[in-house]
Structure 1
Amino acid sequence: MKAKQTRLWTSGVAAMAIGLSSAAYAQDTEGQDPAQSQTPQVDANAIVVTANKREQNLNDVGLSVTAIGSQALAERQITSVQDIAAAVPGLQFADSGAGTPIYTLRGIGFNEESLGVYPSVSVYTDEVPLPFPVLTLHAAFDLDRVEALKGPQGILFGQNATGGAINYIASKPTSTLQYGADVSYGRFNTLTGNAFVSAPIGEKAGVRLALSAQDSDGWQYSLTRPGDRNGAMKYIAGRLTFAVEPAPNVRLRATALAWQDKSEPQAAQLIAVRAQNPADTQAPLLTAPFGTTNPRSADWTVRSDYVTFTDVVNGDFSIKPLTTGDLSPRSNRKFIQGALRAEVDIADAVTLTSITSYLDYRQHLYSDKDGTALAIANIGDGLANIQSFNQEVRLSNLDPGRFNWVVGANYEDSHTFEDQYLTFANGSSSSPNTIFINTTGSEVIQDIRNYAVFANGEYELVDGLVAKVGGRYTNSRNQSDLCSKGNGDGLVSVLFNIIGGLSGNPFTPIGTNDCYVLNAQGVPGDRFLDTLAEDNFSWRVGLDYEPSPDTLFYANVSRGYKAGSYPTLASADYKAYFPVTQESVTSYEAGFKASLANRMVQFNGAAFYYDYVDKQIRGKVVDPIFDVLDVLINVPKSRVMGAEADLTVRPAEGLSFGASTTYLDSKVLTDNGSQFVGPTAYGNSCTVGGAPGPCDFTGSELPFTPKWSYGINVDYRRDLGAGKLILGADLRGQSSSVATLNGRTIEFRDLPNDRHASFVDKPFVIPSYIVVDARLGYEFSGGRFKVMAWGKNVFNEYYVTNAAHYLDTTVRFTGMPVTYGITLSVKN
């Protein structure tokens, strides 16, 4: 019943707006020019961006920026964070397995799935921050454009933008009545609807309402339960914007963004079994089927009915069946954010800008990370909530001139809570040696406070030569409260009471739901309480040289920082909860932007070198009880160097060719001559003196950093008199990369009960791939009605976005298979 209601709502959103638009079309006055009510489409040379927190022509900005306009977003079906990553050269997206997206830009990223951690690529909507990655899932609708700023953006976009910043620019209220909608139907019974209405309220105010919704069936199929599907998408999102000019020098804009997502998290593909405790591998795992090169093949737990355990408390050592309950992947995530932007022009010379926002996010999430129908690494119910208040106040010169400047301050107060329930009842950690424990809980509470002051200036030294300098001081404090809980049937608490007793130190025995992690005295019961206090100074200096209106050369040296954070994990040792400290990236970049051949050709290029200090990464630790577990670590010294170029050619009216390429070379370096060593994803699997020992990571490439990534796009429009023919295609690809340090050297090992899929040689290598999208459409005369047939991944390329090892299993996450559909759209 709920599925039918969702589908009716999704189609109703679009149908209602289509009906309104059609009625308005019939009532148009005879002399009105329909084109006047449309947002003008401009070429790349005239795109306006706000990379420096003021409106500028894209070609006048001395930074590497990718901008995608509203028409391209709509026609290329760019509606998700995955789509954005595919369209921005150098930006990588990975599925974490826990519903938290991972962004990596030019090799700078944070491969971490905890909910309350800052990304290295900050995301904003109209300069309003979405500070944690999970909050970015449904902001890409009803947009005027997307701006992707590459390289450290710490001066104007905060301490956590070491890799870059993505700014969604939402469409604003209009001075005339405008409305429109589109409805799409595609593979997997996918129904998508978008609608907006924008209208003036008097002469100095306007309002805009936009809605987006999707409902689809699952695209993954179970290898052990024919007919069972996973991966269904079900969400609805809305944005309400109200703008008013109460006085000639005052502009106010209030925005409310809300969404609810009940989608099913993607299940992993099993590619290998490598148990924590090989001798205790349970029999069902020895026959669990592997995924195939069909991206739809996967498996996930619905209910586990054959778990064994020992009831130590009652002294009953017989083996019994245990039902774990419904563990099928599902979610219920709710987000709401309110923002107020106020601009006041002071004395015709200075603008005061204030941006205030508050958000609330709540989550119930069940995810399956092990790629099997067994309970090996299942999360659920994953409870979480985030509340975040942000305030920015800044002053800037009103009219662009020889000297342009901005000074301001930021304040953030964020509270995060995450409570993960991990079930591993079919795993080797549930064995006689651990008295058949089968569940643990991980609770992380963070109270985060940040404040910063910043200034940035640009001064034209002589005609065409501009000097730039900026800085930001940031002070951050993160008060944390972490606890690994002995939940479930109480066996974890029993086990750790036994272990605590072996320490010889006195302690109060713990009960179910108490903290079991062992403290420095080797006894359980204490919560891990800690405060991470840090400060830093980000800076940037640079020169822009514009020898002609069509050519810009720029050079920048900048440094940015990303705050430290605490992990969400289940560990026996409190040392695993130590946070990673702040990382820094010092960037050296030079580039150019050139409009050639009477602006029929746009050619941009840049070369860069990143000095990466204390890179944050999700690594591994050998736990004294649970063997190999995740942990957050700092890589002391590494670097990324590379170059990128993009070319756009418009040889004839209606025809456009685009091509882009990014080259990256990343490497872990020594730190004052000291090698960087530690356990790999398979534990201490390196040989030192003939015995297993820590691995030397020096020389390893960084995760999600392919040597080459590239894209080609073609757009063609031809006026047929009664309408326009629309043709387009996009190709994107990349060379191989790795999902973990030393990913190219980690191989499968011939250990007891180990097994792996025959088509995989290196478990943590992400193979190279090429994906092609295509579209064919017709726009009716006047531009009001349009029909588009489209396909994504039209050649059904099997490609991998992430690979990881969870307890006993090694898994992959894949990209979507071929999808196709048709879109009908209308606007007044």
Structure 2
Amino acid sequence: MGRSTKTNRMIGAASATAPMALIVAALLPGHALGQTAPAAAGQTTPVSSQSGAVGQGDIVVTAQRRSENIQDVPITIEAFSGDSLKKLGVEAAADLGKIATNVVVSLPQGAGNQPAITIRGIGLNVNNSNNSGPNGIYVDEFYLSAPTSQAFAMFDLDRVEVLKGPQGTLYGRNTSGGAINFITAKPTNTFEGYLDARYGNFDTSQISGAVSGPLSDTLSARFAFVRNYSEGYNYNTFLNRRQNGADDESFRASLLYKPTPDLRILVVGHVSHVDRLPDNYAHLGAFEPGSVETGSPVVCSVAATYASQCVDIYNQPSDPKRYSIASSRTEHLKVTDRGVVGRIEWSPGTITVTSVTGYNYNQRFLPEDSDSSPYRELEVNWGNNSNEFTQELRVNQTKENYNWVAGVYYLHERLNQNQDYALLLDIDRFYGPGAGDGLASRQFARNTQVTDAYAAFGQGEYNLTRTLRLVLGGRFTHERRSFLFNSQVQYQSGGMDNFTPLAQVADSTSRLQNSAFSYRIGLNFKPMPGVLAYATLTTGFKGGDFNGGFLSPDPAQAAYQQRPVKPEKVTTYEVGIKTTFLDRAVTFNAALFYNDYRDMQLFALVPSPIGPLNLAANAEKARTYGADIDLTVRPVRNLTLSAQVGLLNTKLVRFLLVADPTVPDYSGNQLAFSPKLSTFLQAQYHIPIGESQAIDLQYSATYKGRQFLDATNDPYTTQQAYWTQDARVALTISQLELSAFVRNLGNTYYATAAFNSISPFGYVQPNYAPPRTYGVGAKINF
């Protein structure tokens, strides 16, 4: 059903007490800066971000398809090493939202399912398995098109790069908001490895490891794995057990073959599996007690709903206890993902030829108890599988005064949906035999989407003067897509669990073709070492799309849902500066941006005979603007303070949803997942206590301002501002590291998703983030 509204929101004020001491320390470094000594050997590399001079060396990224110091790249980037991510507890794509500013990542359907990623206010607030968002996800340069394939475990990574703003030239379709690159650790020329084990509350355990080394003079290999288990932080009173836990494993194998100095062949294969009870939402009744029996339920206030003072359509009260559910479903969430990426790099002279070939298969079955109650109000089975193949071939050259890259790209994907819902099947239990006749229903959808995309691209940089460089790039994309709708519905007739014959809702095929040219124009100015100023004009493109959710039994609404939405286009203006000064003691980066969107793709909930449904539509015009600010300071030896701040203002300038007769005009509303202020603060202190012993202290805090749910800005699904804080201490003794950690130190109570089901079911469904968690770990390197 309409799950797009399950996003990072809840009602009621969350804790907003700012850790002011850290803010002051990070933003006002003090007089000690001029006395900073170089970082000590063994010091932990700070987690973030755009800064290029951190710890012992510079951050090297491949955001522009070549290796560069991050401070030389005229793009707003936050880069994180794999080691830093591990220490911060960032173990899935959804966790990136807590350490990257102007970025929100939520799991509308819980862990193990597709993430909803928003960068600078640009995202896609829907959980249909066929709708790729406008922020591209890449693993080892392979684009993951199927949304459900993006919920992978993050383990044994070299780094993660978060690119903000359109990346339409080098990355292409579906990057109108940005892109995230996950780069896995590669085979090494010497033997090495590690084993890492952790245990925490809720019987949570993780064991991961890797081994890497040469197999011959020309061949090396790496094998890595992770195994997660947790009983979970929700308590299911109906099943008398904990839920919202983990039970999954992932494996990766890499081979690197270097037969000659100028030829490298890398093959990376992976497989992962999830098999556990799915996450569940809370169940908050939203009708005033005593009003349901009258036949005209009265909707509770927002405050009363979230205070568990109301009932649902079955007149059942809410459980006032936090993290308490009562789901009766026992089927398991099952996800299988496997794939392979092959990369061939040949460098004859100054030219480098690179081929990246990838294949990925993903299959998911999610038995969602949408109402999280013992009674059948709304239950949805989400089933899908996808096969994706991509091929990229590019050539690049780097010289003293210029560099360029050019290439071609192809993508083919076939995605199948097998999904059904059942609503109000137990209504006769509460309102008498036959009460559900003509009302209770089941729908079955069997859909197929086929996508073929082609592109040719190029980008170059040329030194106009010793300090001024011109950047020009372009990409032409052509896309063909078809979507087969096959949907049937049946209604209760003759009492509970008796139904009419299946009636056809839709049996049709829709097609679309899109072509677009994206470009980048920029000027880079480097007046002195350690300073880069830049200005860019870029465009982005996201291809047309189809609504892969359930169809309304109303013929007019169903016809509207089957129409493809037009491509969205963005023009972005950005100016920025990247600086490193005071003998690398301070790194300060800032960027101002303005995004002008036309035909932005949105999903909005509208009333229907079977409850709220998703409708895909185009907002004629939208805009976002704001700033990304990054400061890293090393005031004294072994101490690193960092602060990232995101400022954001968003607006739907013109959005008239003609298919919604209740509130058709959403013009002026704020975009979803768009807090006006977001921050990430971190302090790290390395204390050597011997030749090979040290203590590392780490503290971090994340702030997210108030966020609206979707284009409706619904007050029943609005997440108020909140802070979360994490802490970690580690003792290193030679190759052994012992650690202890606390996450969500203040036990902040906030939702990562919420769905307004008041009409007709009488409840709101928040999906709450984990409470305070803590544990210990041990890691040995060899």
**3-state SS of 1:696 partner:** coil
For residues 709-720 of structure 1, the aligned pairs below 5 Å read 709-720=678-689
Q: Measure, in 1, the Cα distance between the counterparts of 2:776 and 2:551.
A: 46
> Counterpart in 2 of 1:163?
177
Matched residue, 1:504 = none
Superposed displacement of residue 434, structure 1: 5.1
Match for residue 477 of structure 1? Answer: 480
Unaligned 5+ residue runs, structure 1?
1-34, 303-326, 498-510, 518-525, 685-692, 747-761
Q: Which residue of 2 aligns with 1:75?
A: 87
Structure 1 equivalent of residue 347 of structure 2: 345
**d(CA) in 1 for partners of 2:89 and 2:405?**
36
Deviations along 1:561-603, one digit per CA (max 9) or x if unpaired, are: 1122222213113322222221112111111111121110111
The residue type paired with residue 629 of structure 1 is L
Equivalent residue number for residue 631 of structure 2 = 647
Conserved? CA contact 1:230–1:329, under 8 Å: no
The 3 A distance-change label for structure 1 pair 152 and 406 is: same
Residue 162 of structure 1: how far off its partner (Å): 1.0
* Alignment map for 1:811-826 (pairs within 5 Å): 811-826=765-780
Taking the aligned partners of 2:710 and 2:516, their CA distance within structure 1 comes to 28
Residues 267, 329 of structure 1: 8 Å contact kept: no
**Cα-to-partner distance string for 1:415-455 (whole Å, 9 max, x where unaligned):** 00111121213477997575243321222210111111111
Residue-by-residue CA offset, 1:35-87 (whole Å, 9 max, x unaligned): 99999998266000001000000100010000011221222122112222211
Identify if the C-alpha distance between structure 1 residues 444 and 602 changes in structure 2 by more than 3 Å, giving closer, same or farther: same
Is the counterpart of residue 697 in structure 1 residue 678 in structure 2? Answer: no
The alignment status of 1:43 with 2:54, answered yes or no, reads yes
**Counterpart pick for 1:799 among 738, 750, 756:** 750
Task: Give the Cα separation in 1 of the matches to 2:269 and 2:287.
Answer: 48
Structure 1 residue aligned with 2:552:
571
Q: Which residue of 2 aligns with 1:455?
A: 458
SS of match in other structure, 2:94:
helix
Instruction: Mark the CA change 1:349 to 1:147 in structure 2 (over 3 Å): closer, same or farther.
Output: same
Instruction: Determine if contact 1:125/1:139 at 8 Å carries over to the other structure.
Output: no
Correspondence 1:288 to 2:316: yes
Q: Which residue of 2 aligns with 1:767?
A: 720
The structural deviation recorded for 1:281 is 8.0
Task: Decide whether aligned partners of structure 1 residues 247 and 653 sit closer, same or farther in structure 2, where only a CA change above 3 A counts.
Answer: same
TM-score by length of 2: 0.85
Match of 1:583 in 2: 568
Number of matched pairs: 704
Which amino acid is the alignment partner of residue 610 of structure 2? F
Within the alignment, does 1:618 sit opposite 2:617 as a pair?
no
Q: Is 1:668 aligned to residue 696 of structure 2? A: no
Is the CA contact 2:493–2:499 (under 8 Å) kept in the aligned structure 1?
A: no
Kindly provide the amino acid, as one letter, of the partner of residue 96 in structure 2. Answer: I
User: Residue 74 of structure 1 aligns to a residue in which SS?
Assistant: helix
> For residues 312-365 of structure 1, what are the alpha-carbon distances to aligned partners after superposition, in whole Å with 9 as ceiling and x for unaligned?
xxxxxxxxxxxxxxx33631110101111001123x121111000111111222
Is the CA contact 2:160–2:183 (under 8 Å) kept in the aligned structure 1?
A: yes
- Identity over aligned pairs, percent: 27
2:538 alignment partner in structure 1: 558
Residue by residue over 1:454-478, the C-alpha shift from the partner in whole angstroms, topping out at 9 and shown as x without a partner, is: 1111111111211111111111111
Inter-CA distance 139–577: structure 2 relative to 1 (3 Å threshold):
same
Structure 1 residue 610: Cα displacement? 0.5
- Equivalent position amino acid for 2:469 in 1: V
2:390 alignment counterpart: 390
What's the CA shift for 1:120?
A: 1.4
1:728 aligns with 2:698: yes
For 2:594 and 2:312, the matched residues in 1 are separated by 49
Counterpart CA distance in 1 for 2:653 and 2:738 is 53
Change (3 A) 1:373 1:88: same
Mapping of residues 350-429 of structure 1, within 5 Å = 350-380=351-381, 382-397=382-397, 399-426=398-425
> Which SS does the other structure have where 1:108 is aligned?
coil
Residue 65 (structure 1) aligned to one of 67, 73, 77? 77
Tell me the CA shift for residue 293 of structure 1: 7.7
> Does residue 446 of the first structure (1) align with residue 442 of the second (2)?
no
Q: Alignment RMSD, CA only? A: 2.8
1:682-727 per-residue CA deviation (whole Å, 9 max, x = no partner) reads x75xxxxxxxx43431111001101101111011110011610110
Q: Residues 400 and 260 (structure 1 numbering): CA distance in 2 closer, same or farther, change over 3 Å? A: farther
1:622-673 Cα shifts (integer Å, max 9, x gaps) = 43x3353221111111100111201101112211001111111101113xxx
CA distance in 1, matches of 2:498, 2:657: 32
Q: Per-residue deviation at 1:164?
A: 0.7
The secondary structure found in structure 2 opposite 1:110 is coil
Q: Structure 1 residues 291 and 476, CA, compared in 2 at 3 Å: closer, same or farther?
A: farther
In structure 2, how many angstroms separate the alpha carbons of the residues matched to 1:453 and 1:491?
Answer: 60
Rounded to whole Å, the distance in 1 between the matches of 2:123 and 2:214 is: 42
Q: Which amino acid aligns with 1:788?
A: S
Q: For residue 6 of structure 2, what is the aligned residue in structure 1? A: none
Cα separation, 1, equivalents of 2:320 and 2:331? 20
Q: Distance in 2 between matches of 1:62 and 1:292?
A: 51
Q: Does 1:95 align with 2:107?
A: yes
Give the whole-Å Cα distance in 2 for the aligned partners of 1:533 and 1:183.
Answer: 50
Does 2:610 align with 1:605?
no
Query: In structure 2, the residue corresponding to 1:202 is in which secondary structure?
Result: coil
Matches within 5 A, 1:430-579: 432=435, 435-486=438-489, 511-512=501-502, 516-517=504-505, 526-567=506-547, 568-572=549-553, 573=555, 574-575=558-559, 576-579=561-564
Q: Map 1:145-160 to 2 at 5 A.
A: 145-160=159-174
Distance 1:362 1:226, change over 3 A: closer
Q: Given residue 420 of structure 2, which amino acid in structure 1 is its aligned partner? A: Y
Give yes or no for contact 1:97–1:369 (8 Å, CA) kept in 2. no
Deviation at 1:138, TM superposition (A): 2.0
Distance 1:273 1:484 in 2: 31
CA change 1:122–1:812 in 2 (3 A) is same
The alpha-carbon deviation at position 491 of structure 1 amounts to 9.0
Letter in 1 for 2:665: D
> Is the 2:93–2:154 contact (alpha carbons within 8 Å) kept by the matching residues of 1?
yes
Q: Which residue of 2 aligns with 1:256?
A: 269
Q: Aligned AA for 1:458?
A: E
1:142 is aligned with what amino acid?
D
SS at match of 1:555: strand
Say whether the 8 Å CA contact 2:648–2:675 is kept in structure 1. Answer: yes
Aligned partners of 2:341, 2:277: CA distance in 1, in Å?
Answer: 29
TM-score, normalised via structure 1 length? 0.81
Query: Mean alpha-carbon deviation: is it higher for 606-615 or for 480-489?
Result: 480-489
